[in-house]
Amino acid sequence: MQLIRPLLWGLIITLFSLPAFADWEVGLRHSDTSVSEIVVNNDVERPQVVVYLVWVDLDAPQADEQFLSWRFDERERGWKSGLKPVLDAAINLPVLDSYTIEFEDKSCPELHRCFLALVAIPAGQSPLNTGSWQAASLLPLSLSASWARLPGQQFFLPRDSGANYSLADGATYAPTPFSGGPTAPKVEAAPESDTSGTGAPVTEKPDIFRLVDNKLLYANGQAKRFQVIDVADLSNPRLTGWTALSGNPRELYVLDDYYVLLQTNYVAEDGTQLTVLRQGADGTLTTVQDMTLSGHFIESRRRNDVIYTVTQESVPIEQTEKVECVWCFNHTVINIKALRFNAGQLEEIDKTSLPGYSPAIAIFSNHLVMANHNPEEEKWQTTQIQVIDLSQDDPLVELPMLKVPGQVPSEFHLSVKDQQLRVVYGPKNREAGSTLAIYNLASPEMALVGKIDKIAPGEALFATRFVDDRAFVVTFERKDPLWVIGLSNPAQPEILGELHVPGWSEKMFFHEDRLFAVGYDDQPLENEKNRWVRRVAMSLFNVADPTNPTLINRLTPFAGEVRSTSSPAIDDERALLLNWTEAFAALPINSWETSAGSHLQIVSLANDKVEDAGRLDSSVEIQRSVSLAPDVLAALGDQALQTLRWGNGKPKLLGELELASNLAWLELQDGHLWAAATGNKGYHRFYRYTTEDVETPAERWSLPRGYNRVEMDNDWAVFYNTYPSLAVQVLDVKTGKLRPAQVLEKEPPKGTSEAPAVDTLIAPDIRYYRRSQPMVHDGWFYIAEQRPFKPAVRDQTAHLLLPEPEKEYWQPAEWLLRSWNLKVDKPNEAPTRSIPGNPVAFTANGELITQESNEDGQLRLNLLALQGAGNAKLLHSHTLRCRSYSQLMWADEALYVKCEMADRYRPSPVYFGEPVAEDKAGDSQTDESPGDKADKPIEPIPTEPPIEPEPVEPTTQLLRLKVEQGFVDDGSWTLAGYQNLRAASKEIVLVASNGWYSPVASMPLYQGGCDIYQLVPEQEPKLLKHLETCSYSQEGMALTPTKAWMAEGFAGIKEINW
């Protein structure tokens, strides 16, 4: 061991620094020879300190083998045995530049804790007293040393076995990439109706909106509001009236000057609410009538002035005197009520009930038809069909019930024409094929007129459309057969033609020998590597010749862009805007693989084929679209109304009106409430409220896309995604400027070997991988990742003594902290830092708190300094007698710990029996021979009934720690029940009751609501407020010592006082 070259006393200031390290730090550069380089640095002036640079073995058996010190004294220089300072006298150590020292690698015995230590202490103090250390940097040289947690330590590996990774057979750990009058949509909203004769009754299947002149009426289900929107100015739609509703509106009727809203109330016992509204000349909405119905709302239909509501409810099974029901359960019934509308009032005129649930409902001129699973069969292999005659004086005349051997998928598989019920049902067994049957409604028993069965054996039944004397039926297994069935002779329906095309159709619409279909295309493009795709598609068929139907063309939006899309129009035809007169259609398409998440796809039918006419990308979900002008559409959703002009390339957004905000994130800072609303792909809107007015935001901002999470950092709101790419966008709330989005780390294309911008230690076949919740502090973005540790990949750890991994042997893991400076226009990643455990929070002065498990599974807390670009240094480490997964919450410079002491699960019963005598060699228990034993039957061991433990009431232990003083205890409290921390502020905590398993019950018992406590040291918890309901998320709460606020989604912000 020697110096690289002779040094003069005046060069001592060059002793301790290197550009690669910052702060006070010691490091080791590995070389291919046995000689390595020690590098040290210091970046602040340190007056009158004594400096030690020491190789130390904490587990050396002999004292003279424990220390090896580097000396630069006049009397001796170089590496010397024993614990000695660099210089005997204290010096004023200035800011220094780099220096290197040759160091012959000294062997560290296996399982010993060996370090390189650089320590500064005041004169007259002992270097063995860590309390006297003014500066310290300890570099572990062995695996055992990396498990230690000493002040100044700068590299860490977890001690718990759960943080180690097993190597799979053949696995290697090489660097790999990282990852005019009322109008509705012009689309057939119901199955073909029987309109024979003159003066046919008017029937209606309602929707969630209606357009009346320039007034758009909207039943906003999520926001629980009815809203009136003026769309006269296409670029500036205005909300001219609204009212809150008790339930979630599902359907809307416009009758004369009245608005009838049918709502589902998920809280009330009655379940269904009907509200009649009327709007005055000043725009005020007045409630004319409120009515409740039993059961949860399913759907409704209208015939002239009568609305038929369908609800379902669970009712008890009635017992008789002869039969005692031991295992009685409720059964579900379907309630049908006839409500006549007259002068703004709804009056019940008839009602009936049917067994079953979730019916398909279809209305025709004189009949209401309901089909649902036969409740008498557990396997639901047959369907019961109830036809109700609506043309009699009695409003609800039930015809005989039919039961068909199969399933009726939807209302479009039902049709009534010329007093005949026509139905298509799938088979009990797919191999038997589907069936079309025709029944005579005029006969007493609804006799079968004719049928055709064995349609497409082996295939599932999908779309059906009845048109006059034809039925179009779609089945599917690997291809989509379109069947044309002739019904001109009801006694003998026959298959006229068929067409096989890929994919399948879910909904079909007929116009002048054309079928427009919406369904799925499951065919990948030739250049797509992933062969599984399922994308919404629109098809146009020519059915002029029923014996030879042909596919004109099919359009598949997003083909080649994403693998999977969906649309509400697949299940609900009212989401499709189909205008045969103007020759276009529009429907919402959703995909989690796109950046926006929700889109309005417009197609043209002008050239007798389906052609792409443009697509609107939206950060909020689109539920419906409506035509406002020949080239202007409105896209409508719970959160916004958007107007757009289409027909010339990409649709142009004209205007947007916010209808509601789905608030899910809340933070109190500098006397303001900051809130974020979620859309399709996360948080996409940001608001500032005053604490005096939580109804109307003082400021609002919109983002071009949604983000997974948001954090406040002084005057910045930082939005970020961690998947598929690590990306951030910063909003300066002081100036209102939204900075461009920054991609910090792109996800490499799948199947490539593209190298990442940083060292990555993720193996191709890792069994475990963790990423922490990102944090933002002082303009820096942080995220920690737990990776398998490979020392040779990084110079800083190439020295570490580790056993060689073998097959099925463990590989140690480490937590690495990554960081980016968001204050610059193009953030670059800083060098990674080794940290002990999962990050929890930053203190006000920038120190990092982490959480990990020790070798006994107990919770270990660490406090680290992150100064400059150097390694993280451990300041304090503290172990609590709590399980390592205990919940932590940082609030107002105090750390709350929900101390988990034991698993909260019901133990298995313990059975006790008689002990079995041991048969020891040479100790004859009986005079029986082995043969006698074999012939004698074995006596059963008598057992006692299982002993159940005594009931134990669950409790929650809360601790509060002062972190900067070394995790000093600041109080301990016991709360009744099993609670989770939701929010904290100084001495106030808000906890939520969770489900817990009772030690004496086989089913979990649950407690509800939230409690707000005041926690004063050495005093019992003081209950300040009990809340019946509260948010499931910590992000949606803000707390002060005197009040709290909760983000309640579309309901807004709730203020709570005590």
Number of H-type helices and E-type strands within the chain: 2, 79
3-state secondary structure of 431: helix
Q: How far is CA 153 from CA 127, 130, 505, 728, in A?
A: 15, 12, 65, 32
Note the pTM of the prediction, 2 decimals: 0.80
Closest to 1049 in 3D by CA, of 767, 660, 733: 660
Which of 318, 348, 350, 349 is closest to 333 using CA atoms? Answer: 318
Q: Are strands 203-204 and 770-771 parallel, antiparallel or unpaired?
A: unpaired
Which H/E stretch holds residue 143?
A: helix 143-147
Is the Cβ–Cβ distance between 225 and 243 less than 8 Å? Answer: yes
Identify whether the C-beta of residue 1023 lies closer than 8 Å to the C-beta of residue 1012: yes
CA count, 13 A, side-chain hemisphere, 972? 8
Are 528 and 540 in contact by the 8 Å Cβ rule? The answer is no
Peptide bond into 724 cis (omega under 30): yes
Question: How far apart (Å, rounded) are the C-alpha atoms in residues 250 and 256?
Answer: 20
Which residue type sits at 8? Answer: L
Residue 918: partners with Cβ closer than 8 Å, 6 or more residues away? none
CB atoms under 10 Å from CB of 264, counted, come to: 18
Q: Are 311 and 294 in contact (CB under 8 A)?
A: yes
**CATH superfamily membership of 377-502:** YVTN repeat-like/Quinoprotein amine dehydrogenase (2.130.10.10)
| Cα 574-216-191 angle, rounded to 5 deg | 20
pLDDT score at 259? 98
629-641 as b/e: b if 16+ CB within 10 A? eeebbbbbbbbbb
Strands (E), 234-284: 238-244, 248-255, 258-264, 272-279
pLDDT tens track for 285-340: 999 999 999 999 999 999 999 999 999 998 877 644 444 444 456 788 999 999 99
Give residue 19's pLDDT.
31
Q: For the chain, which residues make up each domain, given as ranges?
A: 9-141, 203-358, 377-502, 663-745, 886-906+948-1047
Q: Average model confidence (pLDDT) for the chain?
A: 84
Is there a contact between 815 and 838 (Cβ–Cβ < 8 Å)?
Answer: yes
Give alpha helix (H) positions in 539-604. none
Other C-beta atoms lying within 10 Å of the C-beta of residue 164: 17
Give dist(CA 816, CA 785) in Å, integer.
Answer: 5
Rounded (to 5) percent helix, strand, coil in the chain: 5, 50, 45
Can you tell me the distance from the alpha carbon of 173 to that of 791, in angstroms, rounded to the nearest whole number? 11
Assess contact for 240 and 210: CB atoms under 8 A: no
Give yes or no for a contact between 486 and 469, defined as CB atoms under 8 angstroms apart.
Answer: yes
Of 485, 570, 495, nearest in space to 534 by CA: 570
Question: Two tokens at 517?
Answer: 């279909």
- Alpha-carbon dihedral sign for residues 806, 807, 809, 815: positive
Whether the CB-CB separation of 741 and 728 falls below 8 Å is answered with: yes
Residue 741: what pLDDT?
A: 93
C-beta of residue 215 within 8 angstroms of C-beta of residue 228: yes
Which residues, 6+ apart, have CB-to-CB distance to 199 below 8 Å? Answer: none
**What pLDDT score was predicted for residue 595?**
79
Distance CA 870, CA 797 (A): 14
- At residue 521's C-alpha, the angle toward residues 520 and 527, to 5°, is 150
What pLDDT score does 791 carry? Answer: 64
Cα–Cα distance between 324 and 965 in angstroms, integer? 70
Distances in Å between the alpha carbon of 118 and those of 91, 137, 139, 153? Answer: 15, 5, 9, 10
What pLDDT score was predicted for residue 387?
98
Instruction: Tell me how long the chain is.
Output: 1058
**Taking the domain 9-141, which CATH number applies?**
2.60.40
Rounded Cα distance between 603 and 612, Å, is: 5
Strand, helix or coil for residue 432: helix
Between CA 800 and CA 678, with CA 771 as vertex, the angle to 5 degrees is: 165
Q: Identify the CA nearest to 123 among candidates 148, 147, 89.
A: 89
Question: Residue 295 carries which DSSP code?
Answer: S
Instruction: Return d(Cα 277, Cα 245) in angstroms, integer.
Output: 11
Q: Identify residue 632 by its one-letter amino acid code.
A: V
pLDDT in the model for residue 104: 76
**CA dist., res. 472 & res. 499, Å (int):** 11
What is the DSSP annotation of 784-836? Answer: EEEEE--GGGSGGGTT-B-PPP-TT-EE-EEEEEEEEETTSSS--BPPPEEES
Please state the φ and ψ torsions of residue 965, each to the nearest 5 degrees: -95, 15
Q: CB of 548 within 8 A of CB of 541?
A: no
CATH number of 663-745: 2.40.10.480
What does the pLDDT read at residue 747? 64
β-pair partners for 976: 955
Cβ atoms within 10 Å of 107's Cβ, excluding its own: 10
Q: Quick count: other Cβ atoms within 10 Å of Cβ 882?
A: 21
Tokens of 384: 């019961």
Phi, psi of 476 (to 5 degrees): -160, 135
Which two structure tokens, joined as six digits, stand for 886? 């205990």
C-alpha triplet 775, 779, 783: angle, nearest 5°: 30
Residue 153 has a CB neighbour count (10 Å cut-off) of 27
Q: Which pLDDT score is estimated for 948?
A: 59
Strand 296-303 relative to strand 306-315: parallel, antiparallel, unpaired?
Answer: antiparallel
In the chain the first and final C-alpha atoms are separated, in Å, by: 70
Per residue in 989-1013, pLDDT (tens digit) is 999 986 443 333 333 333 468 999 9
Strands (E) located in 356-456 = 360-363, 367-373, 383-389, 397-398, 402-404, 406-407, 414-417, 420-427, 434-440, 448-455
Collapsed DSSP state (helix, strand, coil) of residue 17: coil
All residues at 6 or more sequence positions from 1045 whose CB lies less than 8 Å from its CB, including other chains: 666, 668, 673, 691, 694, 1037, 1038, 1039, 1053, 1054, 1055, 1056
Residue 318: the pLDDT is: 65
Ranges assigned E (strand) in 265-399: 272-279, 285-293, 296-303, 306-315, 331-342, 345-355, 360-363, 367-373, 383-389, 397-398
Of 581, 591, 639, nearest to 615 by C-alpha is: 591
Q: Which residue is associated with the tokens 């990396």?
A: 146
pLDDT-flagged residues of the chain (< 50): 1-22, 165-189, 193-197, 319-327, 750-768, 804-809, 904-938, 941, 995-1007
